[in-house]
Amino acid sequence: MSLAKTDFNFPKQTSVYHGKVRDVYDIDKKYLVMVASDRISAFDHILPRPIPFKGQVLNQVAEHFLNATADIVPNWLLTTPDPSVSIGLRCEPVRLEMVVRGYLAGHAARTYKSGRRVLCGITLPEGLRENDKLPHPIITPSTKAEEGHDEDISREEILAKQIVSEETLNVLEDYTYKLFAKGTEMAAERGLILVDTKYEFGIDATGRIILIDEIHTPDSSRYFYAEGYEERQAAGEPQKQLSKEFVREWLIAHDFMGKDGQVMPIMPDDFVQIVSERYIELYERITGNTFVKADNSNSAERIERNVLAWLDGKI
Task: Kindly give, in sequence order, each residue whose CB lies less than 8 Å from that of residue 277, ignoring residues fewer than 6 positions away.
Answer: none
Other CB atoms within a 10 A radius of the CB of residue 202 amount to 20
Query: What is the reported pLDDT for 242?
Result: 85
Query: What is the reported pLDDT for 170?
Result: 98
Compute the distance between CA of residue 97 and CA of residue 32 in angstroms, rounded to an integer.
Answer: 19
Compute the distance between CA of residue 250 and CA of residue 239 in angstroms, rounded to an integer.
Answer: 17
Where the chain has pLDDT below 70, the residues are 145-149
Query: What is the reported pLDDT for 145?
Result: 63
Task: Kindly give, in sequence order, each residue whose CB lies less than 8 Å from that of residue 252, ignoring residues fewer than 6 positions away.
Answer: none
Q: pLDDT by residue (tens digit) across 171-222? A: 999 999 999 999 999 999 999 999 999 999 999 999 999 999 999 998 889 9
Compute the distance between CA of residue 235 and CA of residue 243 in angstroms, rounded to an integer.
Answer: 22
In single-letter form, the type of residue at position 74 comes to P
Burial code of 253-270, b = ≥16 C-beta within 10 A, e = fewer? eeebeeeeeeebeebeee
Region 93-242: CATH code: 3.30.470.20
Instruction: For the sheet with 85-89, list strands across it.
Output: 13-18, 22-27, 31-36, 85-89, 77-82
Compute the distance between CA of residue 171 and CA of residue 153 in angstroms, rounded to an integer.
Answer: 17
Strands, DSSP E only, in the chain? 13-18, 22-27, 31-36, 41-42, 45-46, 77-82, 85-89, 92-93, 96-103, 118-119, 122-123, 133-139, 142-143, 192-203, 209-212, 221-225, 241-242
In single-letter form, the type of residue at position 179 comes to L
Provide the residue count of the chain: 315
Q: pLDDT by residue (tens digit) across 15-46? A: 999 999 999 999 999 999 999 999 999 888 99
Query: What is the reported pLDDT for 48?
Result: 93
- The answer to pTM > 0.85 is yes
Query: What is the reported pLDDT for 139?
Result: 98
> Between vectors from CA 220 to CA 214 and to CA 223, what angle results, nearest 5°?
120
Crossing angle (nearest 10°) for helices 166-189 and 54-69: 110
For residue 196, give the nearest of 124, 129, 101 by alpha carbon. 101
